[in-house]
């Protein structure tokens, strides 16, 4: 083989080697890039943010007031969904407005439906009257299809949820799998500490009955031993009718209600009408934490803020 030919081969090899190096670098940078993740409601977005810490930031669908149950999908939200590689939501019983758009994404994005996570403690929604009787209504276990969807308000369920979030992310993005795993472990330790702190705070007001605005806190109540007597509104988006108002007034006037809990957006006039002259205090609970800054801490702030509202109002003289 003459020198000239050898030189050509060498040059050729160098070109191939360079091409392989470039391709390798491109593949590596692609693998390190965070997947496009969309989470539905702020507390779920917070848990997803925690699992993705150091890798990327998920997008959030439900921002601002208005609740999660009945909404319309805004164009910007539709666009975020359309671009997503992973969509994480609670399930059709909560974000009913997402059910159709998510169905149309099937096959294109990974859909993670939290309420279907194995190992969750699921409860059936409470429907009977104002939950008549003096004790707490028996919590009935439920299946994903008919469960009360407010699952995140139990930190134990949140523990299970972060595991499922980590597994879904690692399956789509194995290059960052170790990172997701470490974040899940750190989040679980943080959730355990949170549970212990909340329990200590709540213990003194256990057993003081109260009314909630809508049946959104069952998981919290069951975990920490609180007793709700009923909900003001049967449907969170519809004010109670005159018949229900009379029943609520009778319950409050019978003197066994320690607090009436409103939610962001509950008209003050409604709470005022319920209290009448009884002097029963009221406070605001927020199952979503719509006023809190989104991010990894949102869930923890939300749980502490609601706990403070419970304890302050239920220990009022
Ligand atoms: Zn709700």
Rounded to the nearest angstrom, the distance between the alpha carbon of 94 and the centre of ligand 1 is: 7
Rounded to the nearest angstrom, the distance between the alpha carbon of 237 and the centre of ligand 1 is: 10
Rounded to the nearest angstrom, the distance between the alpha carbon of 236 and the centre of ligand 1 is: 7
Pick one of 3.50.30.50, 3.40.50.1980, 3.65.10.10, 2.40.50.140 as the CATH number of 207-314. 3.40.50.1980
Provide the 8-state DSSP code for 110: E
Rounded to the nearest angstrom, the distance between the alpha carbon of 60 and the centre of ligand 1 is: 18
What are phi and psi for residue 283, nearest 5 degrees?
-150, 170
Rounded to the nearest angstrom, the distance between the alpha carbon of 136 and the centre of ligand 1 is: 19
The Cα 243–Cα 231 span in angstroms is: 14
Over the stretch 79-129, which tens digit does the pLDDT of each residue have?
Answer: 889 999 999 999 999 999 999 999 988 778 999 999 999 999 999 888 755
- Whether the CB-CB separation of 112 and 58 falls below 8 Å is answered with no
Rounded to the nearest angstrom, the distance between the alpha carbon of 216 and the centre of ligand 1 is: 5
Q: Which pLDDT does position 42 carry in this prediction?
A: 96
Q: Which pLDDT does position 106 carry in this prediction?
A: 75
Indicate where the chain has its CATH 3.40.50.1980 domain(s): 32-115+139-198, 207-314
- Whether the CB-CB separation of 170 and 177 falls below 8 Å is answered with yes
Banded model confidence at residue 64, pLDDT cuts 50, 70, 90: low
**Tokens at 291, concatenated:** 């006023």
* Dihedral, CA of residue 59, residue 197, residue 185 and residue 156, to nearest 10: -80
Rounded to the nearest angstrom, the distance between the alpha carbon of 96 and the centre of ligand 1 is: 11
Rounded to the nearest angstrom, the distance between the alpha carbon of 286 and the centre of ligand 1 is: 10
Taking a 5 Å cut-off on Cβ, the residues next to ion ligand 1 are 216
CATH 3.40.50.1980 fits 32-115+139-198, yes or no: yes
Over the stretch 150-175, which tens digit does the pLDDT of each residue have?
Answer: 999 999 999 999 999 999 999 999 99
Please state the pTM of the whole predicted model: 0.86
Rounded to the nearest angstrom, the distance between the alpha carbon of 230 and the centre of ligand 1 is: 14
């Amino acid at each position: 083989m003459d020198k000239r030919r050898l030189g050509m081969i060498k040059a050729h090899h160098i070109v191939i080697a360079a091409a392989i190096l470039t391709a390798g670098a491109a593949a590596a940078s692609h693998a390190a890039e965070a997947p496009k993740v969309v989470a539905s409601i702020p507390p779920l977005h917070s848990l997803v943010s925690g699992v993705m810490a150091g890798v990327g930031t998920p997008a959030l669908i439900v921002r601002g007031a208005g609740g999660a149950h009945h909404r319309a999908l805004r164009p910007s939200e539709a666009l975020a969904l359309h671009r997503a590689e992973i969509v994480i939501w609670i399930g059709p019983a909560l974000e009913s407005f997402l059910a159709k758009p998510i169905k149309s994404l099937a096959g294109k994005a990974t859909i993670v439906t939290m309420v279907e996570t194995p190992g969750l403690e699921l409860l059936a929604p409470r429907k009977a009257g104002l939950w008549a009787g003096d004790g707490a209504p028996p919590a009935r276990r439920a299946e994903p299809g008919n469960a009360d969807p407010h699952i995140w308000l139990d930190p134990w369920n949140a523990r299970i949820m972060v595991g499922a979030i980590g597994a879904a992310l690692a399956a789509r993005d194995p290059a960052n799998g170790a990172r997701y795993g470490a974040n899940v472990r750190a989040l679980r330790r943080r959730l355990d500490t949170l549970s212990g702190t909340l329990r200590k705070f709540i213990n003194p007001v256990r057993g003081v009955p109260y009314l909630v605005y809508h049946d959104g806190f069952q998981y919290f109540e069951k975990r920490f031993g609180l007793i709700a007597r009923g909900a003001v509104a049967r449907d969170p988006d519809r004010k109670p009718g005159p018949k229900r108002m009379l029943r609520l007034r009778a319950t409050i006037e019978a003197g066994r209600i320690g607090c009436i809990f409103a939610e962001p957006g509950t008209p003050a006039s409604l709470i005022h009408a319920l209290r009448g002259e009884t002097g029963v205090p009221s406070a605001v609970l927020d199952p979503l934490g719509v006023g809190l800054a989104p991010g990894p801490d949102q869930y923890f702030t939300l749980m502490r803020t609601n706990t403070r509202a419970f304890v302050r109002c239920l220990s009022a003289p």
